[in-house]
């Protein structure tokens, strides 16, 4: 078994729901998604404790990683709250 095959196997074993979730460094987010811009992400990260964004990010040293799947769940949750208020 090659090194790549063993890495893929380990990733699939960790994935219990059948869907993978990428951890994207904050500064690399624009390479994958046009929205939100880096300034908007930094605002969300700065106010993470008051807006609930702390569920979306992981910190490794000084690096801030964004869980892609949890980010879009966070956006959906915000949209559902606004729909209930309207």
* pLDDT (tens place) for every residue of the chain, 86 residues total: 554 444 444 444 444 455 689 999 999 999 999 999 999 999 999 999 999 999 999 999 999 999 999 999 999 999 988 777 76
Confidence (pLDDT) at 83: 75
Confidence (pLDDT) at 65: 98
In 3D space, the residue among 65, 82, 55, 61 whose CA is nearest the CA of residue 29 turns out to be 65
Contact (CB, 8 A) for 56 and 71: yes
On whether the pTM is more than 0.85, the answer is: no
Domain assignments of the chain as residue spans, ordered by start:
21-85
């Amino acid at each position: 078994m090659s090194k790549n095959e063993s890495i893929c196997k380990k990733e699939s074993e960790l994935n219990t729901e059948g869907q993978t979730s990428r951890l994207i460094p904050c500064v690399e987010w624009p390479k994958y998604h046009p929205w939100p811009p880096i300034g908007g992400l930094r605002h969300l990260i700065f106010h993470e404790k008051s807006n609930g964004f702390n569920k979306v990010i992981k910190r490794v040293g000084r690096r801030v990683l964004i869980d892609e799947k949890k980010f879009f769940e966070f956006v959906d949750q915000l949209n559902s709250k606004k729909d209930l208020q309207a």
